[in-house]
């Protein structure tokens, strides 16, 4: 019997990343890979049968969306910009290793180039604390349609 975060008989099942493939793999059985070196896997849309979500998308694009297994604490906090987030990873590393990770994440399109370049220049990364909101931009001044008549 595999472990689940919730009882499927009491809660509706939904994919945590719609658009990615789900599958059933014999987890922790020590089954060896086949001749191709791949583990036996059964792709299924039945979330009652699936026990893993794959990085592979469920279309013909050949694209992947990262599905990662961190063996250390991490937090995903919402940014003050809706739909944006801050990832905090509790895994100490040297600046050399961290800066290489930042560049790799930029190259993969996961981080903005300007953010990475600023971090490399400063020697650290930073994000706003959850209760700090971005300042609202100043509105553009409205110029009169007729510069000779300020009331036009």
Q: For residue range 128-147, what is the model confidence (pLDDT) as tens digits?
A: 988 888 888 888 887 767 66
Q: Can you give the pTM of this predicted structure?
A: 0.71
* Residue position matching structure tokens 């903005």: 112
- Does residue 27 come out as left (phi exceeding 0), alpha (psi in the -120 to 50 range) or beta? beta
The C-alpha atoms of residue 127 and residue 117 are separated, in whole angstroms, by 15
Residue 38 CB contacts under 8 Å (≥ 6 apart), including other chains: none
DSSP bridge partners of 22: 53
What per-residue confidence (pLDDT) applies to 6?
55
- What's the whole-number mean pLDDT along residues 94-119? 97
Instruction: Please give the DSSP secondary-structure letter assigned to residue 64.
Output: B
The structure tokens listed for 106 are: 């930029």
Q: Is the confidence at residue 101, as pLDDT, over 50? A: yes
Q: Is the confidence at residue 32, as pLDDT, over 80? A: no
How do residues 61-72 score in pLDDT, each as one tens digit? 999 999 999 999
The structure tokens listed for 19 are: 């658009």
Q: Is the confidence at residue 96, as pLDDT, over 70? A: yes
């Amino acid at each position: 019997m595999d472990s689940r975060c919730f009882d499927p008989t009491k809660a509706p099942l939904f994919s945590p990343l719609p658009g990615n493939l789900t599958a059933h793999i014999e987890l922790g059985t020590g089954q060896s890979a086949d001749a191709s070196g791949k583990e036996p896997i059964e792709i299924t849309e039945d979330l009652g049968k699936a026990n893993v979500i794959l990085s592979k998308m469920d279309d013909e694009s050949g694209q992947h969306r990262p599905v990662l297994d961190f063996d250390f604490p991490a937090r995903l906090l919402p940014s003050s910009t809706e739909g944006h987030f801050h990832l905090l990873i509790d895994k100490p590393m040297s600046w050399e290793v961290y800066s290489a990770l930042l560049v790799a994440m930029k190259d993969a399109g996961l981080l903005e180039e300007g953010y990475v370049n600023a971090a490399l220049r400063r020697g650290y990364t930073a994000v706003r604390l959850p209760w700090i909101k971005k300042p609202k931009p100043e509105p553009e001044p409205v110029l009169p349609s007729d510069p000779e008549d300020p009331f036009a």
